[in-house]
A and B are shown apart, each in its own frame.
Chain A
């Protein structure tokens, strides 16, 4: 609506401008007509039109400069404006220039055609003819005056003033005057008696008269009246001058006047020919210049109106290109461009709608992903995904908890590079890597490694992932820490064994023992010495073996029991010293511990730990048969992001055979003749229950060596 309100004034002002231009041009054109009243204003009109042209020129130049500046800035719509404008100017200029050229041609030829040699000649001839006719008449009157002068010369003695009237009447002159030599009037006669003062010749005439003696000339009396003045010298006693004035007949005077007027007019026109051509050319050029400049200026305005929506569209498109999809353009017209702008608006609306939808969908997907990630992160099972090159893609929080390694820092690397940095994981990781590369289906593997909290058992399940096309895109490995589970299973199994032993074996032992003692008691008196002796030995053997079996079963149930009953902070160094106190006399035991003994603290059940120390020391003593050399090392170490106390037991006994190393910690495995074979099993069980680990130090070659890691406090 607003634009429609604005439109009419622009077009009206353009119309008014054109009307003004046309009016001033028309006025100038009318002024060139000689007879026009506007003729007096010609110079002003010319100046006004020239100024108008200058103003229009300045307007056009200013517009061109502005356009050039916009072109340099590569502003939207500037190139279209330039093209349209140059097209318009070319189309307007070409016909105008042609019309102008031919108009000039016709104008010059037309003006030239007014004049030609014949007319020139005729005009001059006509003037000459009238002059000749007048000359003849003058000559005739001069002759008459001379005759009269001769007559007067003869009768100068008796000349009376009265005679002059007769003379004048004889000659048919209108006035006759006789002057003395000094110019004094002697006698005068006029056809009109009212004329008292005769016409007096001026200085110039007198001068000529004195030189040549005669004077004859045409003298205009009034505008349309001519008079022939002839003066002749009268030579007598005194030199007199007689002046006669003859009227030229009115008809002849008129004719001469007419010829003169035409001649002068023609002469003037001829003289002004070039100026006239220039004037008309100037007027024509001004007309052309003004109309062209006005047209160009109007073209600027109208093109600006046409290009405005295009400019908006370009700006809008640029905005859309840079991501501003909400761009809406004002619809200024109901034409094709308006339709285009409307379509643009609809398009941007749709694009922004689609963009919003995509964004929303993206947000939803992201939420879903975040949710899944949260689930994965909070899973107790560790999850590591691999890409098609078996490089780690993701790893959840549980992976860190289980491996005690920041798997996230190895994203993009293979498991092998993880294994390089963490030696304790290298074996299990290599086997997982192998399975990843080889398995085509779901696989399952149990792996064990020595973690910071001791030995860890993991259950790994791997699944290779395939794309829809069947290509291998990676794999997922899920692993659970089943250390506790397995330990619990083992414990449960051994508990069951112990319970059965107690039940199945221990229960019959008492009746066996009692029966044997009873046999001894009842039969020893009845038997002879030899038989009684056999009986006594046999029953003693039975009782001893039953005692041994009882002891064995007790040991076993002891093993089956959980050891970490009440955990307290233990000063391990003091505990070792205390336990060694019991054995020190028997053997040369060397204890090596680091300086700061207070750092050697652990959290655990002191009874169980004491048993561990007892068992190991006893083993060592037994191995060295009480004469050997035993070394106990204690130090605090750091491993797998955790602090541990390392406890080493080394003796110089016969050592452990290599094939026994694997099962040495299993129950009922022993190298000794004596013993239940539970000593090391119990040690291992207690250590593991305390979150530690024990293994045979194979580097120690001079005898057996055990290393225990217990979590430090």
Chain B
């Protein structure tokens, strides 16, 4: 009987854990990767991407009340293998923060790694500034081997864990906080 109960509990936990990440990619407020490419320039692969951020009313409301929102753009280059897992050969994270400044009535966008950023008088222009990624070096050409197939992937992750603590549990439960995009994958021409 107790063994049965244990199995039941285990099944319940698995169900929970299995269901949780499922809606991450779905939802009408998820960011969209419109285009992404890696261009070869001077032996470096430079990333350019066009991303559309879509804020839900709740997220907008939170932002206007001074709560900063964080996004991370994940880039991953993998070598395709016929058998087994694909091998990740390069990874890069670009982290962005957007915050409303009440005194100046501006939206401040900031690259968390470089500290660069700017102030925008409207949310739309701030998001617009976020949406374009230009010429970010990802890896050197020499890291790629001849005759192998490589794939590049890009996604935008909304960092729920950097929300204020009281919002965090609800960010997992409310679809308005599912702002991350799915993987955008393309073949890398070698």
Contacts and interface: CB of A to CB of B under 8 A. Distances in A.
Contact of A204 (B62, B121, B164): B121
Interface stretch (A261-269, A355-363, A502-510, A662-670): A261-269
Interface stretch (A11-19, A52-60, A98-106, A327-335): A52-60
Contact of B66 (A51, A54, A218, A267): A267
B65 interface: yes
Contacts of B168: 42-43
B165 A66 contact: no
A39 B167 CA distance: 12
B184 interface: no
- Please classify the interface of chain A as helix (H, G, I), strand (E, B), loop, or mixed, using the class held by over half of its residues: helix
A66 B160 CA distance: 42
Contact of B1 (A32, A62, A265): A62
- Could you say which of A66, A218, A219 has the most chain B C-beta atoms within 10 Å of its C-beta? A218
Residues of A in contact with B, size category: 35 or more
A220 B119 contact: yes
B157 to A, nearest CB: 15
Interface stretch (A275-283, A564-572, A629-637, A700-708): A275-283
A279 B1 contact: no
A259 B103 CA distance: 8
Nearest to B105: A131
A263 B102 contact: yes
Interface in B1-29: 1-2, 4-5, 8-9, 12-13, 16
Interface string B58-88: 0001100111000000000000000000000
Contact of B165 (A42, A127, A267): A42
Contacts of A218: 104
A40 interface: yes
Contacts of B1: 62, 65-66
B166 A264 contact: no
A603 B25 CA distance: 125
Q: Which of B8, B62, B164 is most buried by chain A, counting CB atoms within 10 A of its CB?
A: B164
A432 interface: no
B49 to A, nearest CB: 22
Contacts of A275: 166-167, 170
Contacts of A272: 67, 164, 166-167
A279 B13 contact: no
Given A32-B165, A264-B66, A278-B166, A43 B172 contact: yes
A260 interface: yes
A680 interface: no
Contact of A62 (B4, B102, B121, B167): B4
Given A58-B9, A267-B65, A204 B169 contact: no
A270 B167 contact: no
Nearest to A46: B169
Contacts of B12: 54, 58
Contacts of A54: 9, 12-13, 16
Which of B2, B66, B119, B161: most chain A Cβ within 10 A?
B66
A204 B121 CA distance: 9
B101 interface: yes
A66 B4 CA distance: 11
A34 B103 contact: no
B25 to A, nearest CB: 19
A375 B100 CA distance: 122
Contact of A40 (B101, B108, B161): B161
B172 A58 contact: no
B186 to A, nearest CB: 31
Contacts of B165: 31-32, 34, 39, 42, 279
Nearest to B4: A62
A59 B103 contact: no
A479 to B, nearest CB: 76
A256 interface: yes
B110 to A, nearest CB: 11
A218 B105 CA distance: 10
Contacts of A62: 1-2, 4-5, 8
A130 interface: yes
A71 to B, nearest CB: 15
Interface string A10-47: 00000000000000000000011010000110110010
Contacts of B16: 51, 54
B41 interface: no
Contacts of A42: 165, 168
A267 B62 CA distance: 10
Contact of A279 (B8, B102, B169): B169
A127 B13 contact: no
6 contacts: A32-B165, A43-B172, A66-B1, A256-B103, A268-B164, A275-B170
Given A58-B9, A275-B166, 10 more contacts: A34-B164, A51-B16, A59-B9, A65-B1, A131-B103, A218-B104, A265-B66, A271-B61, A272-B167, A279-B169
Interface of A: 31-32, 34, 39-40, 42-43, 46, 51, 54-55, 58-59, 61-62, 65-66, 127, 130-131, 134, 204, 218-220, 256-257, 259-260, 263-265, 267-268, 270-272, 275-276, 278-279, 282
Of all A-B residue pairs in the complex, the 5 with the closest CB atoms, nearest first, are A62-B5, A271-B65, A264-B66, A275-B166, A260-B103
